[in-house]
Amino acid sequence: MAGSLNKVLLIGRLGADPEIKQMVNGKSVARLSLATSQSWKDKNSGEKKEKTEWHRIVVFNEGLVNVVQQYLKKGAQIYVEGQLTTRKWKDEQSGQDKYSTEIVIQGYNSSLTMLGGGNSGGGIANDNTQSPSNNDDMSQISNDMDDEIPF
């Protein structure tokens, strides 16, 4: 269908360590549980309120799965860009059809970036390319760039 778009952008924190599984074809897949929260002040009571939404994130990029496994832990703050996908399966106990909506990170139009705070350290961006996330990393890169050019 021309003129359609399936894109999801989220910033949140991991509610658990990533779950890494092997698929039938031998490749790995990472599953993440991401919490996004919004807070506001109740107009009537003045009380602070908060609502948390939970999102299922599935990472299929093999290289990115390895980096997710190595660097992401519960509490890490991440930014993800992906696509919404709904899976259907049969519940073995009841025999009923079940559905699950997930954000899929796969291909060139998806990314995952670690942000500061929580248990995260550096950065992951655009299909497993690492990028710095704090000033110390940036100053190290700047210092590396000041070296003499060898020609």
Q: What pTM, to 2 d.p., does this model score?
A: 0.70
Side chain identity at 108, as an amino acid letter? Y
Q: What does the pLDDT look like over 122-147, one tens digit per residue?
A: 444 444 333 333 333 333 333 333 44
Q: What does the pLDDT look like over 85-114, one tens digit per residue?
A: 999 989 889 999 999 999 999 988 899 999
The stretch 67-83 carries a mean pLDDT of 95
Side chain identity at 36, as an amino acid letter? T
Which single residue is written with the structure tokens 């549980």? Answer: 33
Q: What are phi and psi for residue 91, nearest 5 degrees?
A: -70, 120
Q: What does the pLDDT look like over 11-68, one tens digit per residue?
A: 999 999 999 999 999 999 999 999 999 999 999 999 999 999 999 999 998 888 998 9
Cite the beta strand spans of 23-123 per DSSP E. 28-41, 48-59, 77-90, 97-105, 111-114
Hey, what are 90's tokens?
A: 């049969």
Sign of the alpha-carbon torsion through 136, 120, 63, 87? negative
Hey, what are 111's tokens?
A: 């990314």
- Angle (CA) 64-68-71 rounded to 5° is 130
All domains of the chain in start order, with CATH? 8-145 (2.40.50.140)
List 90's β-bridge partners, or say none.
97
Side chain identity at 31, as an amino acid letter? R
